[in-house]
Amino acid sequence: MAVETPQTKTPSIVVYDGACGFCRTQVERMRRRDKGRWFEFVPRQTEGLTDRFPRLDEGDFNTGMRFIAPDGVIRVGADAVYEIFRRLPRWRWIAWVYRVPGIHALARWTYAWIAANRRRLSGTCSVPELDLRESRPR
């Protein structure tokens, strides 16, 4: 069995709002921690992005960043954050918390609150604020 290295692997894609100061700051933090270059960070405003990943046209991007695994599976918001932490060697220990009963729902609610308030958190953002009543975890 071949061992996957940063040079031989297909990176996971993290799609974020490149016009949002809060989003850019968080992506820069992730980028600094991604020593193995396991991710490709792509602003959602990138031309041709939906040609490359047509499923990104589905749903409301206000619900959060998108994580696209090499096999094409897409995760949104807090679920995307979990997948990112799972893949960062020094940060994997955080991912287990997401599997603790009740934490999954709390993480989704917290992420939805941050997404709804990111304009206030950063001072700038290109998309309208999200109504939390529409994004509560199921």
Residue 75's DSSP bridge partners are 67
pLDDT, residue 15, reads: 96
Q: Are 93 and 99 in contact (CB under 8 A)?
A: no
Q: What is the pLDDT of residues 77-113, one digit of tens each?
A: 999 999 998 988 888 878 888 888 899 899 999 999 9
Model's pTM, two decimal places? 0.77
Please answer whether residues 24 and 51 qualify as being in contact, where contact means their C-beta atoms are separated by less than 8 angstroms. no
pLDDT band at 135 (very low <50, low <70, confident <90, very high): very low
Q: Structural domain boundaries of the chain?
A: 12-125
pLDDT, greater one: 136 or 22: 22
User: To the nearest whole percent, how much of the chain has pLDDT over 90?
Assistant: 38
CB 64 within 8 Å of CB 118: no
Helix (H) or strand (E) holding 33: helix 21-33
